[in-house]
Amino acid sequence: MKEISIPFNKSTQVGNEIAYIKEALLSNKLCGDNLFSKKCQKWFLEKGFKNPLMTPSCTAALEMTGILMGIEKGDEIIMPSYTFVSTANAFVLRGAKIVFVDIKASDMNIDENKIEAAITHKTRAIVVVHYGGVPCEMDKIKSISNQYNLFLIEDAAQALMSTYKNKMIGTFGDFACFSFHQTKNFTSAGEGGLITINNETFAKRAEIIREKGTNRTAFTRKEISKYSWIDIGSSYLPSDIQCAYLFAQLEKSEAIYEKRKSIWNKYYSGLKELANKNLINLAKTGDHINHNAHLFFIKLKDINQRNKLIEYLSNQDIEVVFHYLPLHNSEAGKRFGTFSGEDQNTTMESNRLIRLPLFYSLKDNQICKIIQKIKDFF
Ligand SMILES: *Cc1c(COP(=O)(O)O)cnc(C)c1O
């Protein structure tokens, strides 16, 4: 098979990834919560995150929140339909019904002004997704969750290092879940995640749920002399090899952040002209937010034009992709959820969107080529 000259995503080692994996291997202690897991955890604590626990994925972190909140059959969970399946599956697994709320065309995030209409006496939680690392309107959303006494969960899979009014994303909800999948800004060798717990009442139990329902974590801290089965639980620990890879990336977090920002800004300034002519739409965000340049999207006129551009760029050896197929239109989404009110933006806006290549080792001449080819298309 021919290799694409500009792929959509590529994993890049930026620092000591290989050396740290070797160190982990030579330590002969590869299971969870060893040397590099602890180093990562310390890094997140120093950044101001509360009760960080490394997980095998963001999916696992989201599942933990469902268990911790005690979600039961018939409970309703509010979230956008424009998201990855795991946001919904974590709660469907506990028997919950998903109530999908429309997004805003400006940034593809949940429309904070449409949340209240979706709340019923069965609603237990609001899950926000900071799409593309662009923070949702947290002031408004937090005031709604407080007013109706609902849990607030941040699906921050894409949003590490983003801020809302200078406050770190992941510090607003009762829980926040991050992903270190290969496609995200920082990766733990392909798969990985993190849960942070701002609501202290859940901090102790989270350790137990994560360790197969045992108090083994307290045991390894030498707080108790033996550990035993005390609650429900599962296995939500990543191997220390995964954390070794991630720690090397965290050490280079500023460089990764700056590099992605610079790519994002180059796309933005290069494509602004097409946006000014109303040929495409770019993301619009307020001055009170700072995003982490997780992804760069453009929106075309409609799905036909979008698909033509994908094909055109593919013929030029440039791989671009679209996502997500709105969950409420999918087979499982229809079975497990309902859409609150009218779908004004979710389907239409997702049909128009494509994501451009954005990864650490993307070169200036490649960015220029992509911008030029998009201009040529028009
Ligand atoms: C990537 C992603 C997930 C899933 O992350 P994994 O680590 O692959 O489980 C969940 N939600 C959103 C919004 C994502 O982008």
As averages over each run of 10 residues, the pLDDT of the chain (378 residues) reads 81 96 96 97 98 98 98 98 98 98 98 98 98 98 98 98 98 98 97 98 98 96 96 98 98 98 98 97 94 98 98 96 96 98 98 98 97 98
177-208: b or e for each residue (b if 16 or more CB lie within 10 Å)? bbbbbebbbbbbbebbbbbbbbbeebeebbbb
d(CA 72, CA 74) in angstroms, rounded, equals: 6
Owner of token pair 């307290």? 218
On whether the CB atoms of residues 271 and 280 are closer than 8 A, the answer is yes
C-alpha 224 to ligand 1 mean position (Å): 35
Q: Are strands 296-299 and 353-356 parallel, antiparallel or unpaired?
A: antiparallel
Two structure tokens written together for 247: 């720690």
Residues in the chain: 378
Among 59, 127, 191, the mutation site with the greatest number of ligand 1 atoms within 8 A of its Cβ is: 59
Hey, which bits of the chain come out as E strands? 53-55, 76-80, 97-101, 123-129, 151-155, 163-164, 167-168, 175-179, 193-197, 289-290, 296-299, 337-339, 353-356
Here the tokens at position 337 are 């959820």
Hey, which of 179, 184, 350 would you mutate to test ligand 1's pocket, going by the most ligand atoms within 8 Å of its Cβ?
A: 179
Per-residue pLDDT of 246-258, as tens digits, reads: 999 999 999 999 9
Residue nearest to atom 14 of ligand 1 (CA): 157
334 vs 327: CA distance, rounded Å: 8
User: In this predicted structure, what is the pLDDT of residue 2?
Assistant: 56
Q: What is the pLDDT of residue 4?
A: 74
CA of 26 from ligand 1 middle (Å) equals 31
Q: Which two tokens stand for residue 142?
A: 């937090």
| Residue of 321, 312, 244 whose CA lies nearest to 40 | 244
Helix (H, G, I), strand (E, B) or coil at 20: helix
H or E element, residue 376: helix 364-377
DSSP 3: P
Q: What pLDDT does 345 receive?
A: 98
Strands 76-80 and 296-299: unpaired
Domain residue spans of the chain = 17-250, 253-377
Distance 111 CA to ligand 1 centre (A): 20
Q: Is residue 90 a contact partner of residue 66, using CB atoms and an 8 Å limit?
A: yes
- Give distance in angstroms: CA of 245 to centre of ligand 1: 18
Token pair in block for residue 159: 């949003």
**355 neighbors 321 (Cβ within 8 angstroms):** yes
Distance 129 CA to ligand 1 centre (A): 10
Do the beta carbons of residue 70 and residue 91 sit within 8 Å? no
Contacts of 22 (CB under 8 A, 6+ apart): none
Closest listed residue to residue 152, CA positions, set 170, 135, 179 = 170
- Tell me if the bond preceding 324 is cis, omega within 30° of 0: yes
- As a CATH number, domain 253-377 is 3.90.1150.10
Residue from 64, 79, 83, 84 to probe ligand 1 pocket by mutation (most atoms less than 8 Å from CB): 84
Ligand 1 center from residue 58 Cα (angstroms): 5
Ligand 1 pocket test: which of 58, 98, 194, 236 has the largest number of ligand atoms within 8 Å of its C-beta? 58
Cβ atoms of residues 32 and 244 within 8 Å: no
Pocket of ligand 1 (CB under 6 A): 57-59, 83-84, 86-87, 129, 155, 157-158, 179, 181, 193
Pair of tokens at residue 132:
């593309």
* pLDDT score, position 3: 64
- The pick from 103, 130, 158 for probing ligand 1's pocket by mutation, whose C-beta has the most ligand atoms within 8 angstroms, reads 158
Q: What local confidence, expressed as pLDDT, does residue 95 receive?
A: 98
pLDDT attached to residue 290: 97
Q: Which of 3.40.50.2000, 1.10.10.10, 3.40.640.10, 3.20.20.70 is the CATH number of 17-250?
A: 3.40.640.10
| Separation in Å, CA 250 to CA 42, 253, 329 | 11, 5, 37
Q: What is the pLDDT of residues 122-146, one digit of tens each?
A: 999 999 999 999 999 999 999 999 9
CA–centroid distance, 340 to ligand 1, in Å, is: 23
Query: CB under 8 Å to 284, separation ≥6 — which residues?
Result: 106, 107
- Given a contact cutoff of 8 angstroms between Cβ atoms, the answer to whether 35 and 29 are in contact is yes
Q: Which residues pair with 269 in a beta bridge?
A: none
pTM: 0.97
Ligand 1 mean position, distance from CA 103 (Å) = 18
pLDDT for res 283: 94
Q: Give burial (CB, 10 Å; 0-12/13-18/19+) of 317.
A: middle
Angle at 376 between CA 370 and CA 378, to 5 degrees: 115
pLDDT of residue 9: 94
Q: Whose CA is nearest to atom 8 of ligand 1?
A: 181
108 three-class SS: coil
Question: What is the Å distance from ligand 1's center to 86 Cα?
Answer: 7
